[in-house]
Chains A and B, each alone.
Chain A
């Protein structure tokens, strides 16, 4: 099993550009999450989803959008990239309230 797969692994964006961070899981987990991790900091929840068609805001949702059209995929969209969004982004999934499994992250720099 691949687990949680995130693409791309690295990306550099210019201010104002848009992009989608991809996340897919093959564990048939119903819950999926997006976090950001700033240097030396912990994980901050951006958005999460408890099932296809359902999404909820986390602690830091501003500047991001998500969709959950399938159980497997949970893409994160940045519409107008800003320097404050430079971070490492982690996707995670779980079966209900069971412990979360994380991907290896997408390192995003906005210049």
Chain B
């Protein structure tokens, strides 16, 4: 089946630093989504991307739909303690979504 490679698997950063993570696919996707999962809760949608080259922001978060349609990037600027959690990318060649394995982010105050 479809697979997404999400990296890095985990990150430890200082509060105030910027964060970058990415997802790549072996096939073309029509949609890229980024979710965040807080401990003990379900994933919550952060950003949805629908067009190659699209750059979308949500507060301190910025995500891009790669022009090859095989990758996507998520950046978090000026990290704060509440950014801690697992970030998942998800892509959609067709229904249903394919999820990456997640990037676990830890923020050191």
> Which A residues touch B102, using CB under 8 A?
41-42
Does residue A74 face the partner (Cβ distance < 8 Å to B)? no
The count of chain B contact residues (Cβ–Cβ below 8 Å) is 22
Contact B31 A43 (CB under 8 A): no
Contact A33 B96 (CB under 8 A): yes
Assuming the contacts A42-B100, A48-B96, asked whether A97 and B44 have C-beta atoms less than 8 A apart, the reply is no
Select which of A58, A59, A104 is within 8 A of B42 by beta carbon: A104
> Which B residues touch A59, using CB under 8 A?
1
In the bound complex, what is the Cα–Cα distance between A40 and B61 (angstroms)? 23
Assuming the contacts A59-B1, A97-B31, asked whether A45 and B96 have C-beta atoms less than 8 A apart, the reply is yes
In the bound complex, what is the Cα–Cα distance between A35 and B45 (angstroms)? 16
In the bound complex, what is the Cα–Cα distance between A50 and B94 (angstroms)? 13
Contact A42 B88 (CB under 8 A): yes
Contact B88 A43 (CB under 8 A): yes
Q: Count A-B contacts at CB 8 Å.
A: 47
Assuming the contacts A42-B100, A42-B101, A99-B33, asked whether A105 and B95 have C-beta atoms less than 8 A apart, the reply is no
Does residue B92 face the partner (Cβ distance < 8 Å to A)? yes
Write the residues of chain A forming the contact surface with B, with a CB cutoff of 8 angstroms. 4, 31, 33, 35, 40-43, 45, 48, 50, 58-59, 90, 92, 96-97, 99-105
Beyond the given A45-B96, A102-B44, please list 9 additional residue pairs across the A-B interface where CB-CB is below 8 A: A31-B96, A41-B101, A42-B100, A42-B102, A90-B42, A96-B95, A97-B31, A100-B45, A103-B42
13 cross-chain CB contacts under 8 A:
A42-B88, A42-B100, A42-B101, A43-B99, A58-B96, A96-B95, A97-B95, A99-B48, A100-B97, A102-B35, A104-B41, A104-B42, A105-B41
